[in-house]
Amino acid sequence: MSAGWILVLLALAPVVAWLVAGAVVAIRRWLRRRGDERTRRLRLARLLGSGDLAVIPTGDVDLPETAVREVAAEAGFRLLGYERGRDPFRRRVGVFVRSGGGVDRAIRGGHRLTDDVRRRRLAVGPQPASTVRLAQR
């Protein structure tokens, strides 16, 4: 094999790598779409679980947002929003909270401090201005 052919193969290597990566993504997407819509709804309901907070990758669900909101409402959850990691390799996730749960009350500001927490805050004393500024952000 001459040096010219080796250079041609090296020039084509990135194109082949992109084609392989595209094929891998297509196969993973096809495998993730197992089952009909009813099966995917059941999978989402199972992923929500029984806690007050659920963080579920959107790629694992593969349902339209209206269907996701319906399943979450039936399970007693509400969709808080979507979050994407800071680097491009992290998947987008849906954040769900149980309606009326402790996390939901804390988010909406309807929680009351217990006596225990109030006593601890009083025992700590006033906070430095830098901490107060961070808490206000």
Q: What is the pLDDT of residues 31-57, one digit of tens each?
A: 766 677 888 888 888 888 888 888 888
pLDDT at residue 18 greater than cutoff 70: yes
Give the residue from 64, 134, 72, 132 showing the smallest Cα distance to 104: 72
pLDDT tens-place string over residues 73-130? 999 998 888 888 777 777 788 889 888 888 888 888 755 555 555 555 555 545 444 4
Question: In this model, does residue 135 exceed pLDDT 50?
Answer: no
More confident residue, 64 or 135: 64
Give the amino acid at 88. P
How many residues belong to the chain? 137
